[in-house]
Amino acid sequence: MRPKFTSILMIFLIIFSSLILLSTFVEQCRATGNTIADIYVDDNATNSSWYDATHVHTIQEGINNATTGDTVFVYNGTYHENVTISKIINLIGENKSSTIIDGTGYEIVLTITSNNVNLSNLTVQNGNNYGIKINSFDYNSIFNCIIDNNLNGIYLLNSNWINISQNLINNTDNIAINLVQTENCSIFDNNIKNNHCGISFTLGSSNMIYHNNFINNDFSSGSGGFLWDNGYPSGGNYWDDYNGIDADGDGIGDTPYVDGEILDSYPLVFERTIPPNFVWIDVGFNDSTPGWGEDHFNCTQDGINALETNGAMYVFNGTYYENVEINKTLTIIGENKNTTVINGSGAGHVVYISADWVNISGFSIQNSETDYTGISVYSNYTNVTNNIITNNSYGVYYTGSSNNTLLENTIANNNYGIYLYNSSHINISLNDVNSIESALFVNISNYNYLNKNSMETNDVSSIVLYFSINNSLIGNDFLKNGIIIYGDEIDQYIHTIDNNTANGKPLYYYKNSNKSVPADAGAVILVNCTNATIADANIANVGAGIEIAYSHNITVTNLSLTNSVLGIWSIYNDNNTIHTNYIYNNTWGIILNYSNDNLIYNNYFNNTVNALDDSTNTWNTTKNSSTNIINGTFIGGNYWSDYTGFDTDHDGLGDALYTSNDNITTGGDNYPLVISPNVLVNSCSPTEDSTSVSVSADITVIFDKSMNQTTTENNFLIDPLNDGEFNWINDYTLTFTPGSDLDYETPYTVTIGWNATDASGNVMLQNYIWSFTTEESTGGSSPPSGGGGGGYYIPPSGDTEDELTDPPTADPSGPYTALTYQSIRFDGSGSTDNGTIIDYQWTFGDGTMGWGIKPTHIYNRSGVFVVTLTVTDNTNLTDTENTTVNIKLDTDGDGWSDEDEEYYNSDKTNANDIPLDTDNDGVLDADDEDDDNDIINDEIETILGTNPKIKDITIKVLNGIVFYLIDLDDDGIPDRFYNASSEKDVTVKIREDGTYLLNIDSDAYWDYVYDPASGETTNYEEKPGSSDGLPWFTIASVIIIIIIAIIVMLYLFGYIWIGEE
């Protein structure tokens, strides 16, 4: 006798285990889509005991045994039967190719005499009259079957709402599908091939026939009541005898297909296959779209993945946020290049092509990651045509590629427009390129064709040929830039360059020539030339104005070379002469690499860097008397804007050697041309033509430079004469105190003679003269003489010795920051003195001075300058203090430094192009980590799968926990509820009224109701009869526990027993 407890435990384990196994099996069936059949048919099962009422030999027997709603499952085999279905059932074959109903000897293979019959996965063949016949019954479905080798395939008579899809109707001697007096039938996704008549229809209405393949049928016929397409862009059917064209490449014929009563307005031009050889992409497609997941997608990459090799894709207008990899031969066409957008969202390459024979056209391709590309081509025989490629580090990048074509594209606002690396035979033609740095960079790439392109850049040059050979550049127009060639062998400078323009002027490329260059040149390149002359041209806004390589005895004269990256570039040259040219406002004035024994003289250089010479050349002639380029009286060297030496003998030639800050490595310019800086008077007191000047007044002159006191005093004259003494403040301010009072009512003239010199020996060049008139006499005696012997200062009574010896304190404030060409105000108001400060003198560090408490100044070059303030008080005591000002370059004067504009990717040469704050949140776009201002960082949004540029997340705080309500498809209704603390999704159920039930703590009970229409969240209260309860498995578990408890109670009270007690 076993204990009751053991028996009870055994019962409990058996029941509970069985239920668990059953629930697991049911759940697996639900998950996998498996159907649990009611009747099974197998004509050759080896186990005779297998057969019973639900396991039978023939299909008809299975149908006869079935009841309404049953599923009859037929295993593989050939069933020679004449089958009639007269009840509502599902008849399903194991495999449509090997589960065969063979009607040999029968007039009709399968007859349906019931509504709501579903037929699938079967072959129906060899019917002497019909494969399948339905007469006067509705709502039936024939799906995924093969109807083969029948006299007639499918015959529908007076039957409505019939669905015929994904079938093969093949080898029919008469009519593949015959519809008579039918309504609301749908015939789609079928292959109708090799039949006498593909389809026949009579006296029907509201029937739809679309997405079928009609191939190798003798004809189709009928009258009225049929719609032969699903509209645009879904399309109609494929007809192998359609002879129209598809000019726009959308996979749909441009003219209707017409055959008798058949009018297909949108015939497909590609046969529908599996995998498909043509697919359509639209952001609006979804699982309700016909062909969804087969040849209709809402993601470009999904379409590529589905396509058969050598297939084609048409992408409708919309913005597709994705990174596309094309790894098979195909053609991909966008509906409109302005509105069909592939946006890389700043991640990786936007389009990456690794397969040969790819064609892509009609797209706007934009926003790659930094240092990545709009289109990256690692393949051959690829055509990129008629696209807009913008806002990428590289517009189009070819690597290890050959025989590709880049045609009629707009490639704009990329750092590099087009880049070729180790690639050959690339045809780049008829493109419009506007880039930030180089429009086209050809790097170690040979035999490429660059024809009839329009190219513009902000910096560097339009085309760079770098260590490349035998490229062809014909008929290109370069705006603001031209061509630069790099190399270390002469072969790398030999190309075919002809009929190009630079800023509307001819770009001359001469090789192996002695021809002189015409004066209308927009840019010039000479390679291996001898005894040629380049003269009289005005060249501006190009990469290199003049490039000369491997040439000898070339004369370059009387040119204006301005506003370019390079004025003149000389590479591997000798014995050339460059003289009397104006070379200014370039980044580099002249560069000589590996070039010796050249003569450069009498040129005007004013550039960021004037010269660089790594060889041995001569930068001046001997001094000789002749008018030079700056109208000086002697010819010698060149004028250099940054020369800081002196000209003490005033011959117009600097006294010290010029080396361009040691950029001229050997020698330098021994006779740099200088314009002697003459001395100017900034102000004087009494002022010009002033009247009623006090007879006891001092005369003060303020110069713009530190003066030589002796020469200045010797050239000072007052008329009428009056002896007196001179006093100086920092060598800039001269005060003359007359030895006696001036005469009343007398005009005086003061002259500073032109031979007054500054501390460097520069002269006035001309006399400085002004006049004033003294006051009228009041009738009294003249005031005592203001003069004094020896120039000593006699303090007024009452001043103490400490006060006299306590100097002022200068405070220039700062440091300061400003931009070039921008007025900056300095502030010396913080300076103090126990007396009175009477003079504020500033030196601005760029060779200029100013006066006053708060002077303004404009710098025309960038750098850090030392600013000095010297203050003088009424006791002639002084103090000097320094500060600094950091001036940043602002080329276009838009208030943004070039450095900031480069960082924020705006055009530093265009005042209208400044860093943007598109969403006006006070954070520039380049720094904005929350583009849609929803308080969620863009990086987090990317992890969550949302669009960081669209406000598609709502924040909710429930029980102190932050939740994100996420709208993944941007339709205004949340699709996902996310716990930001646990980083897990919340259990959600969508109710019939459109509200959401939320289980935020995963305890199997609903907690809240969220209404997306109002945005409100309320506590959940289950109503009687509500279907919002717990899942069925939870309910089943509770019922099981109750049943077990009842069994235990019955056993304990002796109502049931197990075995003997």
CATH code at 844? 2.60.40.10
In a domain, 252, yes or no: no
Residue 331 has pLDDT above 90, yes or no: yes
Confidence class for position 792, pLDDT limits 50, 70, 90: very low
Distance CA 1006, CA 991 (A): 12
Do 197 and 120 lie in one domain? The reply is: yes
For residue 868, the surrounding DSSP H or E stretch is: strand 863-873
Burial (CB < 10 A; 0-12, 13-18, 19+), residue 421, is middle
Do 757 and 687 lie in one domain? The reply is: yes
For residue 4, the surrounding DSSP H or E stretch is: helix 4-32
In a domain, 1019, yes or no: yes
Q: What is the pLDDT of residue 1002?
A: 61
Name the domain count of the chain.
5
Do 910 and 960 lie in one domain? The reply is: no
For residue 1047, the surrounding DSSP H or E stretch is: helix 1032-1052
Do 773 and 826 lie in one domain? The reply is: no
Distance CA 106, CA 715 (A): 136
Q: What is the pLDDT of residue 146?
A: 97
Residue 131 has pLDDT above 70, yes or no: yes
Q: What is the mean pLDDT of residues 353-372?
A: 96
Q: What is the mean pLDDT of residues 335-359?
A: 96
**Residue 591: both structure tokens together:** 């560069």
The arrangement of strands across the sheet holding 768-774 comes to: 690-693, 768-774, 747-752, 716-719
Residues linked to residue 1010 through DSSP beta bridges, in sequence order = 996, 1017
In a domain, 46, yes or no: no
Residue 800 has pLDDT above 60, yes or no: no
Counting other chains too, the contacts that 754-758 makes at CB distance below 8 Å and 24 or more residues apart are: 754/715, 755/711, 755/714, 755/715, 756/679, 756/707, 756/708, 756/711, 756/712, 756/714, 756/715, 756/716, 757/679, 757/707, 757/708, 757/711, 757/712, 758/679, 758/703, 758/705, 758/706, 758/707, 758/708
Do 886 and 956 lie in one domain? The reply is: no
* Highest mean pLDDT pick, 641-645, 792-796, 927-931, 968-972: 641-645
Q: What is the pLDDT of residue 461?
A: 66
Answer yes or no: are the C-beta atoms of 134 and 115 closer than 8 Å. Answer: no
Do 781 and 869 lie in one domain? The reply is: no
Do 725 and 857 lie in one domain? The reply is: no
Question: In one letter, which amino acid is 306?
Answer: A
Q: What is the pLDDT of residue 704?
A: 86
Q: What is the pLDDT of residues 841-885, one digit of tens each?
A: 888 888 778 777 888 888 878 888 999 999 888 888 999 999 999
Do 771 and 866 lie in one domain? The reply is: no
Distance CA 744, CA 781 (A): 11
Q: What is the pLDDT of residues 539-596, one digit of tens each?
A: 999 989 999 999 999 999 999 999 999 999 999 999 999 999 999 999 999 999 999 9
Distance CA 734, CA 725 (A): 10
Q: What is the pLDDT of residues 997-1031, one digit of tens each?
A: 777 766 657 778 878 777 778 887 754 334 454 44
Question: In one letter, which amino acid is 282?
Answer: D
Domain membership of residue 398 as a residue range: 393-494
3-state DSSP assignment of residue 13: helix
Unique residue bearing structure tokens 């960021």: 608
Burial (CB < 10 A; 0-12, 13-18, 19+), residue 114, is middle
Q: What is the pLDDT of residue 25?
A: 40
Do 416 and 452 lie in one domain? The reply is: yes
Distance CA 464, CA 460 (A): 9
**Residue 230: both structure tokens together:** 């699903």
In a domain, 778, yes or no: yes
More confident residue, 791 or 490: 490
More confident residue, 140 or 459: 140
Which of 494, 515, 546 is at the close of a domain?
Answer: 494
Which of 460, 494, 528 is at the close of a domain?
Answer: 494
Residues in the chain: 1061
Residue 918 has pLDDT above 90, yes or no: no
Q: What is the pLDDT of residue 239?
A: 95
Do 978 and 880 lie in one domain? The reply is: no
Q: Phi first, then psi: what are they for 19, rounded to 5°?
A: -65, -40
Is the Cα torsion angle 499, 505, 509, 513 positive or negative in sign? positive
In a domain, 666, yes or no: no
Per mean pLDDT, which range of 303-307, 728-732, 1017-1021 is the poorest?
A: 1017-1021
Q: What is the pLDDT of residue 325?
A: 96
Q: What is the pTM of this model?
A: 0.61
Q: What is the pLDDT of residue 603?
A: 96
Q: What is the pLDDT of residue 1025?
A: 39
Q: What is the mean pLDDT of residues 210-237?
A: 87
Q: What is the pLDDT of residue 934?
A: 64
In a domain, 412, yes or no: yes
Do 790 and 812 lie in one domain? The reply is: no
Across the chain, mean pLDDT equals: 85
Among candidates 262, 263, 231, 257, which has minimal Cα distance to 244? 257
Residues linked to residue 505 through DSSP beta bridges, in sequence order = 502
Confidence class for position 767, pLDDT limits 50, 70, 90: confident
Do 780 and 811 lie in one domain? The reply is: no
Q: What is the pLDDT of residue 450?
A: 95
Distance CA 729, CA 716 (A): 16
Distance CA 328, CA 131 (A): 41
Which of 494, 510, 532 is at the close of a domain?
Answer: 494
In a domain, 121, yes or no: yes
CATH code at 756? 2.60.40.3710
Percent of the chain with pLDDT over 70: 85
Answer yes or no: are the C-beta atoms of 633 and 609 closer than 8 Å. Answer: no
For the chain, the maximum distance between any two Cα atoms, rounded to a whole number of angstroms, is 156
Per mean pLDDT, which range of 53-67, 635-649, 920-934 is the poorest?
A: 920-934
In a domain, 12, yes or no: no
More confident residue, 3 or 897: 897
